Each structure stands twice: as structure tokens, then as C-alpha cells.
Amino acid sequence: MNPERKAKLRQHPIERVSAWAGQIGSWIEGHLRFVGLGTSLILVVVVMVVGLSVYWSYERESGLAAIRSGFVEMSNDQIERAIPYFESAADKLDGHARRLALLKLGEAYEKQDQPGKALQAYEGVLKNGSTEEAHYLVQFALLRLGKAAEEEGDTELARSRYTEAAEIEGPGQLEALLAMAKILEQEDDGEGAKSYYRKYLDSEVNSPLKEVIEQKVD
């Protein structure tokens, strides 16, 4: 990636705001010399409001463009090049768009064998959303965090993450139910495991695993 382009992507929004505010300040100083103070202050407020609106609109469009570029690089297996795009998108966006950028950033770090940074990105998804919102991006982040905790041997934390994920209705719910059942089986909690297997069967009657899980429940 072009060094100047990469530096621009990594630039924090507050730095761009500061530079923009400096330009506005210079314009205001010159303008106050020619018009009345009261009128100038009103005009300044209007200019600031309009300017900020335009700025944040630009930031969002730039962030969405960064996400698209990140997806392209990921699809081409250019993980190292995708990371700055997702970082830039997470820096500029909010809401579900920011959660998506953080989720993909975590996946990219995992592929780069940087588990610490991956976990930070997944935790960022949770900080920008709650299970009460019942959004699948939060659910996917919980699943990744649960898997990481399980691999580290922290069963208690893994169970907590999987339980939260299982409570969210979304595409990762079945995976969370099976993950919880597996942990409970390993802990010799047969009845607890069966309760999650039953929930799985109730949620997905056409699952290819149906017959196997039915045997576990019987």
C-alpha cells in the first residue's frame, strides 16, 4: 500500500477535526474584522454546524469505503493489506458498521496469528453493543471469545461467552448451543448437556446432526 495512503488511513479523526477547526478559526478571525460581532457569532455557529455535518458524512462514507476495500483484500488473501482498512473503518464508523469492521479486524488478526489483538477487536464489538440488542455481530464476537477462552483452558469464561451467545437469536445460536453442550459433557454434567441438545433440536429440526444428537438426548 502507498505509504501516504496508509498513513492517512491510520490518522485519528480528532487530528482531522483539529486541522479542519484550525482552518475555520483562521477564516473566522479574518471575517470578524469586517462584520458586527453578533452577526458573526451566529454565522460562525451555522458554519460550524454545517461543517461538522459535512465532515461526519464524509467520515462515514470514507469508513464504508474502507470496509469494502478490506473485504476485497481479505477475499484475495491479502490479510496484511486488509488490516489497515478495517482499522480505519472502525475508527470512522459507529453502530453496526463499526461492529462489523471490528469483527473482520479480529478475523484478520487471527489469520495473522496475533491472538492478543484479535481478542481486543472482538472485545471492541461487545463495547459497541450489548446482548440486549440481540445483534448477530455481537453473537459472533461472543462465539470467538468463547472459543479463545476454551482453548486457553478458561472453561468458566468460555461458558459465560457461549451462554450469552446462545441467548441471542441469530445465525450463531446453534453453534453456541452445541458449544455449551460439549463443555457440559466434558464436565460430566450429562443432564445439563442434554438440556442444550434439546434446545438445539427444538431450534433446528432439519439439522444433519439431528440423529446423532437425538441419541445423546435419549
What mean pLDDT is reported for the chain?
77
Distance, CA of 218 to CA of 216 (rounded, Å): 6
DSSP string, 30-55: HHTTTS-HHHHHHHHHHHHHHHHHHH
DSSP at 192: H
pLDDT class for 217, splitting at 50, 70, 90? Answer: confident
Mean pLDDT for 120-140 is: 77
Is 41 a residue whose pLDDT tops 90? Answer: no
Residue found by looking up cell 481478542 in the block: 119
- Residue 93's φ and ψ, nearest 5 degrees, are -105, 170
Q: Does the pLDDT at position 37 exceed 50?
A: no
How far is residue 99's CA from residue 164's CA, in Å, rounded to a whole number? 17
- Take residue 206 and report the three cell numbers written for it: 432439519
Quote the Cα angle for 163-164-166, to 5°.
Answer: 65
Higher-pLDDT residue of 143 and 36 is 143
The separation between CA 38 and the C-alpha centre of its own chain, rounded to angstroms, equals 45
pLDDT of residue 134: 52
Which H or E element spans position 87?
helix 79-92
Residue-wise pLDDT for 150-167, tens only, equals: 999 999 999 999 999 998
pLDDT of residue 16: 54
Q: Is the pLDDT of residue 35 over 90?
A: no
Give the list of residues 6+ apart from residue 164 with CB closer than 8 angstroms, or none: 131, 142
- The pLDDT score that the predictor gives to residue 165 is 92
pLDDT at 145 over 70: yes
pTM of this structure: 0.70
Q: Give yes or no for residue 43 having a pLDDT over 50.
A: no
Report the alpha-carbon distance of residue 217 to residue 25 in Å, rounded: 70
Cβ neighbours of 111 (radius 10 Å):
15
What domains lie within the chain, and their CATH numbers? Answer: 1-129 (1.25.40.10), 132-218 (1.25.40.10)
